[in-house]
Amino acid sequence: MAQEQINKAGLIIIGGSSGSLEVLMKVLPALKKDFAIPLIIIMHRNTVADSALTELFASRTSLNVKEADEKDALQAGYIYIAPPDYHLLTEADRTLSLDVSERVHYCRPSIDVSFMSAAVAYKNELVAILLSGANADGAAGIKTIKEAGGYTIVQEPGEAGVSYMPEQALLTNAVDRVMKGDELAEWLNNLK
């Protein structure tokens, strides 16, 4: 366990693309009821206006799940889902904001955009997790987070539904830890 490297986690941010839904459907229900760190999830979607993801996650956890709105203050006990067709950014005052600028890696929401702004806002209090996917989105964000003092985790490519996304992140040499999907919930539950 490397939790000792993390002084105090202020925000968890998780990015994923194809193959990551299965992982999250296992991780979220296993988070403890009083999980006290706000959590942001950036998922690539196939359909542009699909808000069903929020409802799906909400049905699997006792934590509050909400589609992120601009100016939302990040709160413990909440899971924020990036809305379809918007980039989700974190402000220095630890509120959220939205942006409809150009797609990044053909994606909006883009994991890189969210990771990079959270890195600036949370610095060494940020924990980022990059899951399965067939896209290079997230790798640059992992690098930025590491440079800003945050802690970075990727799903073990060998067990990821699609290994490309975690592999791209590993190429940056900015990953603190490689974990199996099944290990994530317990690790998160032990975070301070």
Partner 1 sequence: MVEAEAIELLLHKVVSRYGYDFSDYARASLHRRIDLFYTKTKQPSFTLMQERLMQDPVFFMNFVEQITVNVTEMFRDAGFYKMLREHVLPVLATYPFIRIWHAGCSTGEEVFSLAILLKEANLLHKSILYATDINQAVLAKAKTGIFHVATMRQNSENYIRSGGKEDFSVYYHANHNNAKFDSALSEKMIFSTHNLVADASFNEFQLILCRNVLIYFNRELQGKVLQLFDRSLDSLGFLALGSKESLKFSPIAGYYKQVVYNEKVWRKNK
Which segment (2-10, 36-44, 80-88, 166-174) binds partner 1 by CB under 8 A?
80-88
Which residue, among 130, 10, 12, has the nearest Cα to 79 in the 3D structure? 12
Instruction: Among 27, 63, 65, 116, indicate the residue that binds partner 1 (CB under 8 A).
Output: 116
- Number of Cβ within 10 Å of residue 5's Cβ equals 10
**Residue 87 bears catalytic tag:** no
**What is the distance between the alpha carbons of residues 2 and 118, in angstroms, rounded to a whole number?**
21
**What is the distance between the alpha carbons of residues 26 and 3, in angstroms, rounded to a whole number?**
21
Q: Is 1 an interacting residue with respect to partner 1 (CB under 8 A)?
A: no
CA dihedral angle for residue 53, residue 57, residue 58, residue 63, rounded to 10 degrees: -140
Indicate which residue of 20, 44, 105, 112 is catalytic: 44
Q: Is 98 an interacting residue with respect to partner 1 (CB under 8 A)?
A: yes
Q: Is 49 an interacting residue with respect to partner 1 (CB under 8 A)?
A: yes
The binding site for partner 1 (CB under 8 A) comprises 49, 69-71, 83, 86-87, 89-92, 97-102, 113, 116-117, 120-121, 144
